[in-house]
Amino acid sequence: MNRLIVLVVILAFFKTEAQPSVLNIADSLYVNGNFSEAIKTYKLYGDMDDISSKLARSYQAIGNYDKALDHYQKGIKVFPDNALLKYEYAKLLSKTKNYQTASSVFKQLIALDSLHPNYHYELGLVYEKLGDSLMHSEYKKSFQLDSGHQKAIFKLAKRQIQIRNYDSTTYYLNVGLKTFENNGALINLKAQNYYFQKDYKKATIWFEKLLGLGEDSQFVHEKLSYCYSQISEVHKAIEQQKLAIAKEPRNSKNLYILGELYTRIDDYKQGEHYIKKSIELVDLPLDYEYMKLGTIQNHQNKYKEAIQSFQSALKENPDNHYVAFYLVFTQDKYYKDVDSKIKLYENFIAKYPKNPFLFKVKSRLSELKEEKFMNLD
């Protein structure tokens, strides 16, 4: 009998000692990222209530959000005053689009600690998903409680730039960049803030900073190209536009812009090339694009090709009076016979009696008639 009692005591001792060992192993597995094995090991522990938070985090780590939420709820029932557990639960609710419940939990947390900046920020995110304008006041409370809160600063600055309140945008961005000067998101807003104010020289500086931080997006290359073009650094504008096109080779708008940029440095061959590529990709009315192409071809004395381009432009938009004039003007250069030229201008006057270039057409018609008269003599 005594031996039996001793055995029971020994077994009870080893069971008691084994429990912490299981937790230590499970915790180690979790820390090292082996979450599924951590879950299996946690389940070997006897008191599931004590480890519900650990199971919740482990399930969340492997993306099993339903089980994670279930274990968070169990943990909160056992430890109702555990703010960290509620905070993690609320964030997962928000992540899984349970916005109403998330809002309720965040409000509970704020009632417990109204000076916690992240509670207000996270509630602001939930309000934003719900389309509730209260998000702005929550972001502002977060900033007031922590002036270095980079995410809240971004939200506030973004809102101010959307409503074109440039001074307020500058204020928030300056505060944020003072504590984190390499915050790419804030630098991006800083560049856009100057861009919208048409201060392209300063905008260029901040877009260049983004490139220096490795921000290699189509958006940055497009905006920087435009800024360079506005401050007459056309070669740099071309370089950036090419980088933008490399991101989306079939972007007809960027191809067209690149063609225009080449014409600014009198490289009409490249200008023609890119505008032709742009036209090939577009199904919309292209009278302006064809008109630009014809103009570039005129610069190269390609009058036959220019005539075809202007005729295409008129097909796209028969009411484009500029194209009509450019067409007859180019035909004048291309045709050799004076009678044919006279006929062209007479037809133009009859067809476009209200064309804004009519005075030039009549003047040129008079010159041609005089030229023909002189040749007869």
pLDDT in tens, the chain (377 residues): 444 333 333 334 444 444 568 888 988 999 999 999 988 998 888 667 778 899 999 999 999 999 999 999 999 999 999 999 999 999 999 999 999 999 999 999 999 999 999 999 999 999 999 999 999 999 999 999 999 999 999 999 999 999 999 999 999 999 999 999 999 999 999 999 999 999 999 999 999 999 999 999 999 999 999 999 999 999 999 999 999 999 999 899 999 999 999 999 999 999 999 999 998 887 666 788 888 899 999 999 999 999 999 999 898 888 888 899 999 999 999 998 888 989 999 999 999 898 888 888 898 988 888 877 767 55
Burial class (CB in 10 A: 0-12, 13-18, 19+), 98: middle
Residue 8 has a pLDDT of 34
Work out the angle between the directed axes of helices 2-31 and 35-42 (0-180°, nearest 10): 160
Q: Is 307 contained in some domain?
A: no
Q: Is 235 contained in some domain?
A: no
Cα-to-chain-centroid distance, residue 157:
16
Q: Is 203 contained in some domain?
A: no
Q: Is 356 contained in some domain?
A: no
Residue 20 has a pLDDT of 60
| Count of beta carbons in the 10 Å neighbourhood of residue 367 | 12
Under DSSP, the state recorded for 180 is -
Residue 147's nearest CA partner among 171, 122, 165, 123 is 171
- The backbone region for 232, taken as left when phi is positive above 0, alpha when psi lies in -120 to 50, beta otherwise, is left
Which string of b and e fits 75-95 if b means at least 16 CB within 10 Å? bbeebeeeeebbbbbbbbbbe
Q: Is 62 contained in some domain?
A: yes
The structural domain count of the chain equals 1
Residue 343's nearest CA partner among 360, 359, 364, 322 is 364
- Which residues 6+ apart lie within 8 Å of 359 measured at CB? none
> Residue 31 sits in which domain range?
16-80
Residue 246's nearest CA partner among 255, 233, 256 is 255
Q: Is 28 contained in some domain?
A: yes
Residue 15 has a pLDDT of 45
Please spell the DSSP secondary structure of 52-66, one letter per residue: HHHHHHHHHHTT-HH
Residue 11 has a pLDDT of 35
pTM: 0.74
- The backbone region for 350, taken as left when phi is positive above 0, alpha when psi lies in -120 to 50, beta otherwise, is alpha
Residue 21 has a pLDDT of 85
Q: Is 64 contained in some domain?
A: yes
Residue 284 has a pLDDT of 64
Q: What's 71's domain CATH number?
A: 1.25.40.10
Q: Is 94 contained in some domain?
A: no
Residue 316 has a pLDDT of 87
Residue 6 has a pLDDT of 36
